[in-house]
Structure 1
């Protein structure tokens, strides 16, 4: 059974292509961030998305001239945690603030996360020395 090409299917395909461009693995598992003291941070996010399409075909004799349609999509990104890698040890550092979903808030949190990571490893070293 051949799938007929229609303006609605073209609209839905176009919407799904755009959503897949926005949501890829780099959105969920971010690019590693390396610090001068040898700590690597990898941001982990939760991605939620949805889309909808609809349309009508109002004149069977000339469907291209009478088609009406629309589509929409939304993406929400919530920071969840950071994978912290130092000296071959990997830890999960959950994000303590409520998820906000904007890149600006994540960027604001990076210095605080780095400070927390440094304190964690400093405390671990002190325990090993004692």
Structure 2
């Protein structure tokens, strides 16, 4: 069975979209700063696609036109939107962070700081436990000296 004209129309439009939108559009090229920090731009890509057409009976086509096959009329369209979302910052000193372009930066910062706060809390608790155990050992050693 021969390919319908709308199939060619859709293939051409989809190939054009594929050329416009690839992974490098969403995750941009990394930039390295002199201090070793790597900055990667992140974007949101949205696109839409539509195609349509209609077949016409050869008898309805104008005189003098090629009436050997069914006439086809159609069209397609696509729209692409690329919007920067933020930057992924990979620093040797502060680790990996996401820096949004817009939005409520205060809340984003708080969420970004939660893992660091938990880590510091765990360190404090670990030091407290170690200090308590050292006090117990010292007290036990003192008690055993007194009984000897």
Q: Which TM-score bucket, shorter chain as reference?
A: 0.5 to 0.7
- Structure 2 partner of 1:120: none
Partner of 1:80: 85
2:92 pairs with 1:94: no
Q: Aligned pair 1:35/2:33, yes or no?
A: yes
CA–CA distance in structure 2, aligned partners of residues 36 and 96 of structure 1: 26
Listed as ranges, the matches of 1:65-76 within 5 Å are 66-76=71-81
Counterpart-to-counterpart distance in 1, 2:35 and 2:82: 29
1:19 is the counterpart of 2:24: no
Q: Which residue of 1 aligns with 2:46?
A: 48
Q: Structure 1: how far apart are the matches of 2:24 and 2:98?
A: 18
Q: What displacement does 1:46 show?
A: 0.7
Whose helix fraction is larger, Structure 1's or Structure 2's? 2
**TM-score of the pair, normalised by structure 1:** 0.65
Question: In the comparison of the two structures, how many residue pairs are matched?
Answer: 93
Q: Which runs of 5+ in 1 are unaligned?
A: 98-130
Of residues 56, 69, 72, the one that matches 1:62 is: 69
User: In the alignment, is residue 8 of structure 1 matched against residue 6 of structure 2?
Assistant: yes
* Structure 2 unaligned spans of 5+: 59-67, 104-148
Q: Partner of 1:15: helix, strand, or coil? A: helix
TM-score after normalising by structure 2: 0.57
Rounded Cα–Cα distance in structure 1 between residues aligned with 2:10 and 2:51: 6
